[in-house]
Amino acid sequence: MQSITEEMEEKYDLPQQYLESKKQMKDEEEEQDEEYFQELDPAIPIKEEFPGRYNFQVSLGNLDSSKNWVYSQVLKKVFINMEETLPLRFKWEPPEDGLLLRTAMVFSLDQYASDPVRRCHNHMAPNNPSNRDVAPRVIKHVVRCTHHLTMYEERSEHLSIVVPLNRPQPGSQYVPVCFKFLCKNSCPSGMNRRPTELIFTLENCNRRILGRQRLPVRVCSCPKRDKKKEEAEVTDTQPDIKKRKLCIPVGKKMMPSCDTHVFNVQLNIVGKENYLAVLKYAYDIMAGQAIKTGQLDFFKPYMDDILRKTP
């Protein structure tokens, strides 16, 4: 027979045993959910921001320390020269070890969400100085990280880089990570003037997403000029009742100025992909001018000629 003391210990141990059993069941369910969501995890990163339980945050380094990049408060966007360093700061609470930072560059517009962001043919060329002593799997990445343990990954043709995150140094509340960009948004056979952004995800060792942040980025030759131009475009779209309307005579249309001189160009292009890229760029340029100026009838024969030359 059990003593009264043993009965009392068994009685008061029951709640603890129950809690431990419930915790074990919850952990097993979370592991099953994690495996399930990993299987359904899309190759295209989701863009919605969420700090998560770690309050994951990203901020810029010292804005006054570089002339090679600028930040627009209006657009919440970075404009940076190619091959220049962008210093960022990452913070999470509590600052645990063993976490990972994944960075992926994606197109901002939904119609291009399924297109992978890659470098253009020119910047991926073997004789390009930026590709010297670089592993083949890294060359296609627009974004590179200066961290010596950076992992370059590809899934369903979509590229990302992964960096291990250690807890901040004593006296600091964030971990600095620096990035470089090896292609421009204006490159025809690459990003082709499409807006882009960086998606940062905080992940555990099982690649489960714990938090997400985003940062629009434009890689260009003149960051200050492009920043001013895009901010002006946003300002111009806002209604202004003080602006006077320009009176146009009845029966006349105001057309933007456009060079309509026709030039015949004969080129020898190496590589089918390069050839198609040149044709596509010429077609897109004329299509854009046709829409902008309203002179579709004028441009259409020349655009059709390009389509006939496309294999």
pLDDT tens per residue, range 45-95: 789 999 999 999 999 987 766 789 999 999 999 999 999 999 999 999 998
Find how far residue 71's CA is from the centre of its chain. 16
Name residues whose C-beta falls within 8 Å of residue 119's C-beta, 6 or more positions apart in sequence. Answer: 139, 140, 141, 142, 182, 183, 187, 190
- Which pLDDT belongs to residue 130? 92
- pLDDT tens digit string along 168-202? 999 999 999 999 999 999 999 999 999 999 999 99
- Retrieve residue 247's tokens: 């009176």
Q: Residue 120 annotated as binding?
A: yes
Q: Domain spans of the chain?
A: 57-230, 256-310
Residue 25 has pLDDT above 70, yes or no: no
Q: Residue 205 annotated as binding?
A: no
- Residue 153: pLDDT band by 50, 70, 90 thresholds? very high
* Mean pLDDT, residues 108-126: 93
- Residue 29: pLDDT band by 50, 70, 90 thresholds? very low
| CATH of 57-230 among 3.60.40.10, 2.60.40.720, 2.40.50.140, 2.70.50.60 | 2.60.40.720
Find how far residue 55's CA is from the centre of its chain. 21
- pLDDT tens digit string along 267-300? 888 888 888 888 888 888 887 777 777 777 788 8
* Mean pLDDT, residues 251-269: 67
Q: Residue 220 annotated as binding?
A: no
Question: To 5 degrees, how large is the angle CA 218–CA 303–CA 307?
Answer: 95
In the chain the beta strands, taken as DSSP E runs, fall at: 57-60, 69-72, 77-81, 85-91, 99-107, 143-145, 151-155, 158-165, 175-181, 196-203, 209-220
- Retrieve residue 296's tokens: 């579709």
